Amino acid sequence: MPIPLTIATIPLRVLLIEASEDDASLVVRSLTRGGYSVVFERVESPEALTAALDGGAWDLAIADYMMPRFSGTAALELLRTRDPDMPFIFVSGTIGEDAVVAAMKTGAHDYITKGQMTRLVPAIDRELQDARVRRERKRAERRLAHLAYHDALTDLPNRTLLHDRLQQAVLGAYRTGKPLTLLVMDLDRFKEINDTLGHHAGDRVLQLVASRLRGTLRDVDTVARLGGDEFALILPSTDLDGAVATAAKVLLELERPLVVDGRTLGVRASIGIARFPQHGASAETLLRKADIAMYLAKGDSGGYAVYAADRDRQTHRRVTLATDLATAIDHDEFFLEYQPILHLRTGLVVGVEALVRWNHPLQGRLLPAEFIQLAEQTGLIHRLTPLVLDKALDEWPDADPSMPLTISVNVSSRNLQDPELPDRIQACLKARGALAPSLALEITENIIMSDPARSMETLTQLHNMGVRLAIDDFGTGYSSLGYLRRLPVDELKIDRSFVVGLGAGNDEVIVRSTIGLAHNLGLSVVAEGVESHAVQGQLLAYGCDAAQGMFISEPAAASVTREWIARRNAFGPAA
């Protein structure tokens, strides 16, 4: 058993490989006088040394060079097989210079004769410091080697290691003929967490997601972080049915709320699935196909999608558009057209809706349906919406008393969940000297219901500023009447699908009840999609306040729309 001596203050655990108890005591007394509190064990055979090494951790070893049953060099050789870095010092009788050189060549750190014990403590001080330096250097080297193949935030394999393991999995699938699938996953609307709660919260979400992914998969599977909020999962010996089951299991696991800094967060994900060899016979191809499938999953309600060649071309176009989107904002490739909103009873135009278009340098004029969802998925909507607001307020200055109009601008769910939105809009109005009631923000009911608490807070701030608020596409979502009653909105816009139905003799009950509901709540009603004089007349008879649509006027540039409004308002109801 180790024998403690507690006279001094610096703890030191020493293996004494020494046949003489007296010589061992001499060494211990020297160390104690040097300021060390020594715990030591004396051994004099290979078996005893092995047992001591198995029994605990030691700071250094001190050995006699020559012992009856066990030489110091043999002891050093045995110790080095267990601990290559432990300081090892010979303390022995006087021997020839050649013998000392030979002893040091075996890997000892120093050789001290028993007649020069004053050298022992300084030698140990030096060797312990050198050992600490060696350990720290090796620890740093191991850490750097680990970071070369692992993500620093989540400690998951990174893209480099993922690619290597995927290549090995492909080779293994070739040899064995067993199935192999790859899943690529990213988090939906993750940028909102970073934008609203800060990057600390975003990092914590990624760590929690990584932990859940590890807990969901098998030991033979690999989960890696590709970068940002994107992950990849290698599933060896897994067919398509198994991969789909795993994807569903992962999505279900991620639906459980995450708690970050005391705040409960909901996280959703989109997963793309590619299988070997049907979708690709190399690591690069499988990654590309799974990534394409992941983009397809963003448009599917299930949350996951299997790669399909017939949808590849369409997805490639979407990926290209997503890449072009940031450049388009920087280069101001967007422009606005305006559709007038007609007050049905007076026949006067009371507002215009701003409709954004993208003048793509290669694909030409693109409508919102082709890029707004991409802007939301990439987070670029936070740059696009202010651009639209600026353009709309610049092209329709509030200072024209002859044409007092409300300018309506559509707002995305991501915009509505941005706590800085009210301040940004207020600054935008102030910079142009525009009055808040001259601006209306159109928000779909699905957007409101996706995060009611945050939506209510933002809407209340905007309402208190005097900005008009309208629920767009009403009737296509799932708002509850009780919640709708509490919303600080001014207007409902009936979705065009119901208004078009009036012309075919359908949806009369829906339209009439919606108008009645809105009026009972003190809201005005605008009908979208008016395409005939008969439908316009029906809406007027139902008590609808205003309408817009191709029959009234097509969307056009601000100058064209302004001239059209001037002519229309000059005639009033007679028009």
Query: At residue 8, does pLDDT exceed 60?
Result: no
Record the tokens describing residue 557, joined without a space. Answer: 């540039």
| Distance, CA of 134 to CA of 129 (rounded, Å) | 9
Cβ partners under 8 Å of residue 388, min gap 6: 334, 336, 354, 356, 409, 410
What pLDDT sits at residue 458?
A: 85
| Distance, CA of 14 to CA of 36 (rounded, Å) | 11
Picking from 337, 391, 387, 344, the residue whose alpha carbon sits closest to that of residue 366 is: 337
What tens digit of pLDDT does each residue of 510-536 get?
A: 888 889 888 988 999 999 989 889 999
The CATH topology of domain 159-307 is Alpha-Beta Plaits (3.30.70)
What pLDDT sits at residue 481?
A: 54
Report helix angle 46-55 to 72-82, nearest 10.
Answer: 30
Do residues 321 and 370 lie in contact, with contact meaning Cβ atoms separated by under 8 Å?
yes
Q: 3: which strand partners?
A: 40
Q: 231: which strand partners?
A: 185, 225
Beta strands in 382-535 (DSSP E): 406-410, 439-444, 468-474, 491-494, 524-527
What pLDDT sits at residue 441?
A: 94
Q: Which region among 131-135, 343-347, 560-564 has the lowest average model confidence (pLDDT)? A: 131-135
What pLDDT sits at residue 356?
A: 95
Query: At residue 464, does pLDDT exceed 90?
Result: yes
| Distance, CA of 406 to CA of 427 (rounded, Å) | 18
Q: Give mean pLDDT, residues 265-289.
A: 89
| Distance, CA of 85 to CA of 134 (rounded, Å) | 8
What pLDDT sits at residue 399?
A: 45
Q: Give mean pLDDT, residues 402-424.
A: 83
Q: Which region among 186-200, 320-334, 428-442, 474-488 has the lowest average model confidence (pLDDT)? A: 474-488
Q: Out of 78-87, 504-513, 547-556, give the one with best mean pLDDT.
A: 547-556
Query: At residue 574, does pLDDT exceed 80?
Result: no
Q: Are strands 110-113 and 349-360 parallel, antiparallel or unpaired?
A: unpaired
Give residue 374's pLDDT band: very low, low, confident or very high (50, 70, 90). Answer: confident
Query: At residue 146, does pLDDT exceed 80?
Result: no
Q: Out of 101-115, 212-226, 307-321, 364-378, give the one with best mean pLDDT.
A: 212-226
Residue-range domain boundaries for the chain = 3-147, 159-307, 322-569
Secondary element (H or E) of residue 90 = strand 88-92
Do residues 443 and 469 lie in contact, with contact meaning Cβ atoms separated by under 8 Å?
yes
Do residues 336 and 391 lie in contact, with contact meaning Cβ atoms separated by under 8 Å?
yes
- Torsion sign (Cα): 289, 291, 292, 296: positive
CA distance readout (Å), 326 to 126, 212, 544: 59, 33, 40
Share of the chain above pLDDT 90, in %: 32
Q: Which region among 55-64, 79-88, 292-301, 489-498 has the lowest average model confidence (pLDDT)? A: 292-301
What pLDDT sits at residue 311?
A: 63
Q: Out of 8-12, 16-20, 192-196, 444-448, give the one with best mean pLDDT.
A: 16-20
What pLDDT sits at residue 94?
A: 63
Long-range contacts of 495-503, Cβ-Cβ distance < 8 Å, separation of 24 or more: 495/528, 495/529, 496/528, 496/529, 496/549, 497/529, 499/527, 499/528, 499/529, 499/530, 499/535, 499/539, 499/547, 499/549, 500/529, 500/531, 500/535, 502/535, 502/538, 502/539, 503/531, 503/532, 503/534, 503/535
- Let me know if 135 is exposed, middle or buried by CB neighbors in 10 A (0-12, 13-18, 19+): exposed
- Torsion sign (Cα): 397, 400, 401, 405: negative
| Distance, CA of 398 to CA of 440 (rounded, Å) | 13
The CATH topology of domain 322-569 is TIM Barrel (3.20.20)
What pLDDT sits at residue 478?
A: 45
Secondary element (H or E) of residue 63 = strand 60-63
Give residue 508's pLDDT band: very low, low, confident or very high (50, 70, 90). Answer: confident
Instruction: Classify domain 3-147 at the CATH superfamily level.
Output: Response regulator (3.40.50.2300)
Tokens 């693109």 appear where? Answer: 366
| Distance, CA of 156 to CA of 221 (rounded, Å) | 12
| Distance, CA of 483 to CA of 474 (rounded, Å) | 14
What tens digit of pLDDT does each residue of 386-406 get?
A: 999 999 999 987 545 555 789
Give residue 5's pLDDT band: very low, low, confident or very high (50, 70, 90). Answer: very low
7: helix, strand or coil: coil
Beta strands in 344-384 (DSSP E): 349-360, 364-366
Cβ partners under 8 Å of residue 331, min gap 6: none
SS3 content of the chain, % helix, strand, coil (to 5): 50, 20, 25
- Averaged confidence pLDDT in the chain: 84
Query: At residue 445, does pLDDT exceed 70?
Result: no
Tokens 């080095």 appear where? Answer: 80
What pLDDT sits at residue 6?
A: 45
Q: What DSSP string describes 398-438?
A: TT-TTS--EEEEE--HHHHT-TTHHHHHHHHHHHHT--GGG
Q: What is the pTM of this model?
A: 0.52
Q: Which region among 124-133, 224-233, 368-377 has the lowest average model confidence (pLDDT)? A: 368-377
Cβ partners under 8 Å of residue 136, min gap 6: none
Would the CATH topology of 159-307 be identical to that of 322-569? no
Q: Give mean pLDDT, residues 357-385.
A: 86
Picking from 445, 489, 443, 449, the residue whose alpha carbon sits closest to that of residue 468 is: 489
| Distance, CA of 455 to CA of 467 (rounded, Å) | 15
| Distance, CA of 227 to CA of 232 (rounded, Å) | 10
Give residue 84's pLDDT band: very low, low, confident or very high (50, 70, 90). Answer: confident
